Amino acid sequence: MAKSARLSGFPERLPAERVIETSIIDVLAHTFALHGYSALNHRAVEPISQLAKDGEIDKEIFAVSRLHSEGTERNPLGLHFDLTVPLARFIADNANELSFPFRAARIQPVWRGERPQQGRYREFIQADIDVIAEAELPSHFEVEIPLAVADAFSRLAPLGVPGVKIVVNDRRLLEGFARGIGLTNIQAVLRCLDKYDKIGPAEVGKLLAAEAGANEEQQRLCLELAAIESDSPDFADDVRALGVEHPLLDEGLASLTTMLRAAHERAPGVVVAQLKIARGLDYYTGAVYETQLIGHEELGSVASGGRYDSLVTVGKKSYPGVGMSIGVSRLMAFILDPDSGIKATRGTPSAVVVAVTDEDKRSEADVVATALRGRDIACEVSPSAAKFGKQIRYAERRGIPFVWFTDGESGHEIKDIRSGDQAPADPATWEPVDADRSPRVYRD
């Protein structure tokens, strides 16, 4: 097959890059398990009627034109663009088999038909955690979720991932404030405020006038609200000073204040109220979250989410939830930047190449390899019985640290090709040091 043109927005990792990506995924899966989240894996497709029912998101969906006999013109299928809508469907399908509150973790690909750019792809990996309750979702879960994500990022620090700031807001606060100043097109207000960082306050003011019908006083109040940022629950005083009143505003303020107070006690400075945050998806009804890498805020949010009370319903029962999604592929965009200094020791899992002295004696090398693999030491047999120098160069090119010889001066011998040291070895007992046993991620 001839070399094909790259498809923009569909990344394929080189082996060493995949080592880094897998290491991140392993840390996230381990952290989620420590917090009690059950691992799920959603199917790739959902009915487009389900994917497109909330907000103007249908333009982002990749439609599946034919999938054997599944999906018809009456019920077309699309690739899921996030992992929250599939979770809602999963809960609805399996509610009788689950125990609530249910903690769910998923790490898998999603697809969006958007313009690719740095850190944004059309196919990418997300790592999601959610808590789903039956009828009532206690507010303490709105604190648990961001702190679990903060824990995950702290465990990624040895892989070179910086610390994070999780910025939070509450949709009820925003809606109550908007209604309190006389604005009724709430979705327009949310969309405008959510662009604050991208276009700046002056342009947001113009958008509020054009899309939400805000007069100059309403614009001023919205922009003053959007400028409030604090890691202290005392931020509520700044909101009250604006002189706006509405029951939903009171509800959102109380919830957000409680969240910040609890987060400040458990992880000071990590969770910060930022009242310009709105999030784009319409199904959020309470807390909303975005996460920034400290020192690399230009990457945008690397983890986001929020509370949703009405996404899952089965008959008269509702299943409110709250969750966050970590953009694994967006993290990779940062890590693979040459300036990050983050690398993998090698791209292959093999720690050893077993040399072949003669093709007629390849079976001897195979016996050694079988013995090593039986003790969980990854290895491979040399592809050809070339000169030993060529077999050593083969190992060097692949980053494999050791070459095993079956007929050294003392019998079986192993050579560390980095130092040149060569010593007798027994396939039944030899062990590499932990740093060489598997590929590892390090920072220059």
Per residue in 340-355, pLDDT (tens digit) is 889 999 999 999 999 9
Taking the model in full, what pTM does it have? 0.89
Where in the chain do CATH 3.40.50.800 domains reside?
352-443
Which of 143-152, 252-261, 280-289, 411-420 bottoms out in mean pLDDT, i.e. has the lowest? 280-289
Amino acid at 34: L
Amino acid at 238: D
Close Cβ partners of 90 (under 8 Å, ≥ 6 residues apart):
40, 42, 104
Burial label, 241 (beta-carbon count in 10 A; 0-12, 13-18, 19+): exposed
Q: How far apart are CA 136 and CA 419, in angstroms?
A: 63
Span 110-123, mean pLDDT? 84
Q: How far apart are CA 101 and CA 88, in angstroms?
A: 14
Token pair of 367 as six digits: 């016996």
Angular region, 243: left φ>0, alpha ψ -120 to 50, beta rest? left
Task: Please give the class, per CATH, of domain 164-293.
Answer: alpha beta
Give the pLDDT score at 167: 94
Instruction: Assign domain 352-443 to its CATH superfamily.
Output: Anticodon-binding domain (3.40.50.800)
Q: How far apart are CA 205 and CA 410, in angstroms?
A: 81
Give the pLDDT score at 324: 97
Where in the chain do CATH 3.30.930.10 domains reside?
10-44+80-159+303-344, 164-293
Span 232-252, mean pLDDT? 94
263, pLDDT greater than 80: yes
Instruction: Assign domain 10-44+80-159+303-344 to its CATH superfamily.
Output: Bira Bifunctional Protein; Domain 2 (3.30.930.10)
Q: In 3-state terms, what secondary structure has residue 97?
A: helix
Nearest to 235 by CA among 143, 303, 169: 169
Q: Answer yes or no: are the C-beta atoms of 406 and 354 closer than 8 Å.
A: yes
Count Cβ atoms below 10 Å from residue 243 Cβ, excluding itself. 9
CB burial string 315-350: b at 16+ within 10 A, e below: eeebbbbbbbbbbbbbbbbbbbeeebebbbebbbeb
